[in-house]
Structure 1
Amino acid sequence: MAAAQDCSLFLGFDFSTQQLKVVAIDGNLNVVHQNNVQFDSELPEFRTQGGVHIHADRLTVTSPVLMWVQALDLLLDKMKKAGFDFSRVRALSGSGQQHGSVFWTRGASETLQHLDPDQDLKQLLQDSFSVLDSPVWMDSSSRRQCDALQEAAGGAQRLAHITGSTAYERFTGNQIAKIRATRPEEFQSTERISLVSSFAGSLFLGGYAAIDYSDGSGMNLLDIRSRTWSQICLDAVAPQLDLLLGNPKPSSSILGPVSSFFVQRYGFSQSCRVVAFTGDNPASLAGMRLQQGDIAVSLGTSDTVFLWIEDPHPALQGHVFCNPVSEHAFMALLCFKNGSLTRERIRNECAGASWELFSDALRDTPLGNGGNIGFYFDSMEITPPAVGVHRFDPQDVQVSSFSPQVEVRSLVEGQFLSRRLHAERLGYCIIPGARVLATGGASSNKEILQVLSDVFNAPVYTIDVSNSACLGSAYRALHGLSAESGTSFSDVAKNAPEPQLVATPHAEAQEVYDLLLQRYARLEERVLQKTRP
Structure 2
Amino acid sequence: MTSSEPLAKQFLGFDLSTQQLKGVVINEKREVLHESHVQFDTDLPEFRTHNGVITVLTKGQKPEVSAPVLMWVKALDMILERLRVCGADFSQIASLSGSAQQHGTVYWVNGAEETLKSLDEGQFLHNQMATSFASPTAPVWLDSSTTAYSQKLEESVGGPEELAIITGSKAYERFSASQIAKVASIRTTVYNKTERISLVSSFMCSLFLGKYAAIDYADGSGMNLLDIKSKEWSPQLLEATAPGLAEKLGDPVPSHSVLGQISNYFVERFGFNEECDVVAFTGDNPSSLAGMCLEEGDMAISLGTSDTLFMWLKEQKYLENGSVFVNPLNETEYMGLLCYKNGSLVRERIKDKCTKSKGWEEFGSLLQSTPWGNFGYMGLYFDEEEIVHPVQGEFKFDQDGRRIEKFDSHEVEIRALVEGQFLLKRLHLEDLDIPVESFSRIVATGGASQNQMILQVIADVFNAPVYTLDNKNSALLGAAYRALDSYSRFAKAGRKNENGAPLAQGLTLVCSPYSEALQIYTPMVEKCRAQMKSILPSIGDDEAS
TM-score interval, smaller chain: 0.7 to 0.9
Of residues 331, 334, 352, the one that matches 1:329 is 334
1:265 correspondence with 2:244: no
Which region of structure 1 is more displaced relative to structure 2, 135-144 or 293-302? 293-302
Displacement of 1:346? 13
Partner of 1:317, secondary structure, is coil
Displacement of 1:271? 1.9
What CA distance in whole angstroms lies between the structure 2 residues aligned with 1:124 and 1:357?
51
For the 8 Å contact 2:256–2:328, the answer to whether it is kept is yes
What CA distance in whole angstroms lies between the structure 2 residues aligned with 1:5 and 1:214?
35
Amino acid at match of 1:52: V
For the 8 Å contact 1:308–1:428, the answer to whether it is kept is no
Residue of structure 1 in register with 2:380 after alignment: 377
Displacement of 1:157? 3.0
Which region of structure 1 is more displaced relative to structure 2, 324-333 or 47-56? 47-56
Displacement of 1:300? 6.9
How much identity, in percent, do the aligned residues show? Answer: 46
Change over 3 Å in CA distance of 1:244–1:385 after alignment to 2:
closer
Change over 3 Å in CA distance of 1:325–1:136 after alignment to 2:
same
Change over 3 Å in CA distance of 1:480–1:524 after alignment to 2:
farther
For the 8 Å contact 1:301–1:341, the answer to whether it is kept is no
Displacement of 1:22? 1.0
For the 8 Å contact 1:320–1:330, the answer to whether it is kept is yes
Displacement of 1:407? 10
Change over 3 Å in CA distance of 1:103–1:4 after alignment to 2:
farther
Amino acid at match of 2:464: A
Amino acid at match of 1:498: L
What CA distance in whole angstroms lies between the structure 1 residues aligned with 2:447 and 2:193?
46
Which region of structure 1 is more displaced relative to structure 2, 288-297 or 512-521? 512-521
What CA distance in whole angstroms lies between the structure 2 residues aligned with 1:49 and 1:406?
30
TM-score by length of 2: 0.80
Of residues 375, 386, 395, the one that matches 1:388 is 395
Residue of structure 2 in register with 1:114 after alignment: 118
1:89 correspondence with 2:93: yes
What CA distance in whole angstroms lies between the structure 2 residues aligned with 1:374 and 1:240?
54
Of residues 144, 147, 150, the one that matches 1:143 is 147
Of residues 170, 173, 177, the one that matches 1:169 is 173
Amino acid at match of 1:24: V
Partner of 1:362, secondary structure, is coil
Displacement of 1:461? 1.8
1:278 correspondence with 2:285: no
1:67-466 correspondence runs (5 A): 67-80=71-84, 83-298=87-302, 303-327=307-331, 328-335=333-340, 337=342, 340=347, 359=368, 362=371, 376-379=379-382, 382=386, 383-385=388-390, 388-389=395-396, 415-426=421-432, 428=434, 434-439=440-445, 449=455, 452-464=458-470, 466=472
Partner of 1:7, secondary structure, is coil
Of residues 480, 501, 525, the one that matches 2:486 is 480
For the 8 Å contact 2:427–2:529, the answer to whether it is kept is no
Which region of structure 1 is more displaced relative to structure 2, 45-54 or 261-270? 45-54
Which region of structure 1 is more displaced relative to structure 2, 271-280 or 112-121? 112-121
What CA distance in whole angstroms lies between the structure 1 residues aligned with 2:47 and 2:492?
45
Which region of structure 1 is more displaced relative to structure 2, 103-112 or 199-208? 103-112
What CA distance in whole angstroms lies between the structure 1 residues aligned with 2:50 and 2:398?
40
Displacement of 1:478? 0.7
Residue of structure 1 in register with 2:543 after alignment: none
For the 8 Å contact 2:322–2:336, the answer to whether it is kept is no
Partner of 2:485, secondary structure, is helix
Change over 3 Å in CA distance of 1:312–1:528 after alignment to 2:
farther
Displacement of 1:90? 0.5
For the 8 Å contact 2:310–2:335, the answer to whether it is kept is no
Partner of 1:474, secondary structure, is helix
Change over 3 Å in CA distance of 1:251–1:505 after alignment to 2:
farther
Change over 3 Å in CA distance of 1:426–1:343 after alignment to 2:
farther
What CA distance in whole angstroms lies between the structure 1 residues aligned with 2:37 and 2:415?
41
Amino acid at match of 1:502: C
What CA distance in whole angstroms lies between the structure 2 residues aligned with 1:298 and 1:146?
26
Change over 3 Å in CA distance of 1:244–1:133 after alignment to 2:
same
Residue of structure 1 in register with 2:359 after alignment: none
For the 8 Å contact 1:288–1:465, the answer to whether it is kept is no
Change over 3 Å in CA distance of 1:455–1:223 after alignment to 2:
same
What CA distance in whole angstroms lies between the structure 1 residues aligned with 2:195 and 2:151?
27
Amino acid at match of 2:480: A
Residue of structure 2 in register with 1:8 after alignment: 9
Residue of structure 1 in register with 2:53 after alignment: 52
Displacement of 1:41? 4.1
Change over 3 Å in CA distance of 1:523–1:184 after alignment to 2:
closer
What CA distance in whole angstroms lies between the structure 2 residues aligned with 1:358 and 1:252?
42
Partner of 1:186, secondary structure, is helix
Partner of 2:79, secondary structure, is helix
For the 8 Å contact 2:168–2:325, the answer to whether it is kept is yes
Amino acid at match of 1:72: L
Displacement of 1:24? 0.8
Q: Which runs of 5+ in 1 are unaligned?
A: none
What CA distance in whole angstroms lies between the structure 2 residues aligned with 1:76 and 1:411?
39
Displacement of 1:25? 1.0
Change over 3 Å in CA distance of 1:107–1:293 after alignment to 2:
same
Report the number of matched residues. 516
What CA distance in whole angstroms lies between the structure 2 residues aligned with 1:165 and 1:223?
11
Displacement of 1:200? 0.8
What CA distance in whole angstroms lies between the structure 2 residues aligned with 1:124 and 1:443?
39
Residue of structure 2 in register with 1:503 after alignment: 512
What CA distance in whole angstroms lies between the structure 2 residues aligned with 1:412 and 1:119?
48
Amino acid at match of 1:333: L
What CA distance in whole angstroms lies between the structure 2 residues aligned with 1:250 and 1:204?
18
Change over 3 Å in CA distance of 1:150–1:259 after alignment to 2:
same
Displacement of 1:474? 0.9
What CA distance in whole angstroms lies between the structure 2 residues aligned with 1:47 and 1:358?
35
What CA distance in whole angstroms lies between the structure 2 residues aligned with 1:257 and 1:29?
22
For the 8 Å contact 1:98–1:215, the answer to whether it is kept is yes
C-alpha RMSD of the superposition = 4.0
